[in-house]
A = this chain, B = another copy of it.
Amino acid sequence: MVTTSKASEPVPHAKVDKRVERSRHTVLVTAFKLLSESGVAGFTVDEVARRSGVAKTTIYRHWPTREALVMDACSQMIAKQETPDTGSLEGDVSAILLEIAHLLRTANWSFVLPSIVDTAERNPEFAEIHSRIQRGHAAPLREVLERAVDRGELSANGNVSTLVAALLGPLFYRRWFSREPVDDQFVKAIINLVLSTN
């Protein structure tokens, strides 16, 4: 399975698996880096092969199409954020939103996401990936809001989906649309605005 192994030498299964795993990982890291630089449109398997040193034939063995590789690399972006439990709704929401604001300022996916959004407009398969990435971002926030409804800290009338959009939307708006700073002061002002009426 790995182009560097000699066909004549029997290689133990575990060792092959480890090598395959390593080369898969290298390809995904390289692919994601290339996506950060040139977006979905400028992404080619040739360039991934050149940069990673993994043969194109090997890459195509794991990912039959360019699209499959892009999608797998994108899946790596799904934020694995922990759900905080500070005891109060405002504490939980602050912890989540300040972390997202930090990632919007620094994380690689923050440069790649517009390319996914754009591709999703014209490609239903990408739209599915994209909505998965989005659900990943929003899951901890949704969870702490639902917990607050159960605790009676938040009126059940306050629709959780609406609140998620009201809290995340302004951060995304500043990062990608108005291109204003997403600093901690702004995040706290939004939380104050949205939660004080509930």
Contact = CB atoms under 8 A, between A and B. Distances in A.
Contact of A193 (B37, B127, B131, B197): B197
Contacts of A171: 169
A8 interface: no
A193 B194 contact: yes
Contact of A117 (B118, B174, B192): B118
A39 B169 contact: no
A82 interface: no
B117 A177 contact: yes
A180 B166 CA distance: 13
Contacts of A114: 114, 117-118, 120-121
B179 A166 contact: no
B177 A172 contact: yes
A117 B176 contact: yes
Interface stretch (A25-33, A72-80, A97-105, A157-165): A157-165
A115 interface: yes
A190 interface: yes
Contacts of A41: 39, 41-42
A111 interface: yes
Nearest to A41: B41
Interface of A: 37-39, 41-42, 111, 114-115, 117-118, 120-122, 127, 130-131, 134, 138, 159, 161-166, 168-174, 176-180, 186, 189-190, 192-194, 196-197
10 contacts: A114-B118, A117-B176, A118-B118, A165-B174, A165-B178, A165-B190, A168-B177, A169-B173, A192-B197, A193-B194
